[in-house]
């Protein structure tokens, strides 16, 4: 599995009952799973929430690997968190942080693996409509989320491509050779995305209302 698919995953129709649930209720499910665990802050409570999220993902027919796979990067991050907390004499706190991090990831996959991106973005725009009262454009918030959902897989995929190229050239242990190409690709992608948004009149004062068009990424 490529890194681009390891984090949030990508939507593939499976015909599960969860796919038929409206996106609004899926967002509610995400909050119900994550907020209590963060508020309680107990390892056993967070672990139980993680198991519930995993059970729902498996029930949603997304596949066990896509449901629970963390990827090398996430495993390293979790290990570092526990190690730092252990050095501070707070191993249990580190475990709780990791459990809540994994819980948030799995809860997010309940959305991203069972819902097309346009529906996810439209749901955010709908939920943010009350913010118009304080002169915040909900469509711009939805657009920002759409850009994020498009950008993360691209950047993670860049790491994959660079790692494969380095392995082919025998440069795998050279950190400079690894980081520099990824940074260059990230900057190029940012410029291309900015140009695509500008071409559609988005993100400019006086421009047309920013609609969450998920096809704007290059």
CB neighbourhood size of 177 (10 A): 14
Q: Is the pLDDT of residue 103 over 50?
A: yes
**Does one domain contain both 49 and 94?**
yes
Q: What is the pLDDT of residues 165-184, one digit of tens each?
A: 777 766 655 556 666 777 77
Last residue of a domain, one of 93, 115, 137: 115
Long-range Cβ pairs for the range 201-209 (8 Å, 24+) = 202/143, 203/140, 203/143, 209/137, 209/139
Residue 123: phi and psi, rounded to 5, are -65, -40
**Does one domain contain both 108 and 3?**
yes
Q: What is the number of domains present in the chain?
A: 2
Mean pLDDT, range 9-24, rounded to an integer: 83
pLDDT on residue 217:
45
Identify the burial level of 89 via C-beta atoms within 10 angstroms of its C-beta, where 0-12 means exposed, 13-18 middle and 19 or more buried. Answer: exposed
**Does one domain contain both 121 and 91?**
no
**Does one domain contain both 96 and 154?**
no
């Amino acid at each position: 599995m490529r890194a681009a698919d390891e984090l949030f995953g990508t939507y593939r129709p499976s015909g599960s009952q969860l796919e038929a649930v409206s996106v609004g209720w899926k967002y509610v499910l995400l909050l119900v799973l994550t907020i209590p665990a963060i508020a309680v802050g107990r390892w056993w409570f967070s672990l139980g929430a993680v198991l519930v999220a995993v059970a729902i993902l498996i029930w949603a027919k997304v596949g066990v690997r896509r449901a629970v796979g963390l990827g090398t990067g996430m495993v390293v991050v979790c290990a570092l968190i526990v190690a730092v907390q252990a050095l501070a004499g707070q191993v249990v706190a580190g475990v709780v942080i990791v459990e809540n991090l994994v819980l948030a990831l799995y809860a997010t996959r309940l959305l991203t693996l069972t819902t097309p991106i346009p529906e996810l973005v439209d749901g955010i725009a709908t939920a943010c409509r009350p913010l118009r009262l304080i002169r915040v454009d909900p469509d711009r918030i939805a657009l920002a989320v759409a850009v994020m959902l498009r950008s993360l897989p691209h950047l993670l995929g860049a790491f994959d491509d660079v790692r494969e190229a380095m392995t082919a050239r025998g440069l795998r242990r050279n950190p400079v050779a690894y980081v520099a190409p990824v940074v260059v690709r990230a900057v190029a992608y940012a410029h291309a995305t900015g140009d695509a948004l500008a071409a559609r009149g988005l993100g400019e004062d006086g421009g047309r209302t920013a609609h969450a068009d998920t096809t704007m990424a290059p």
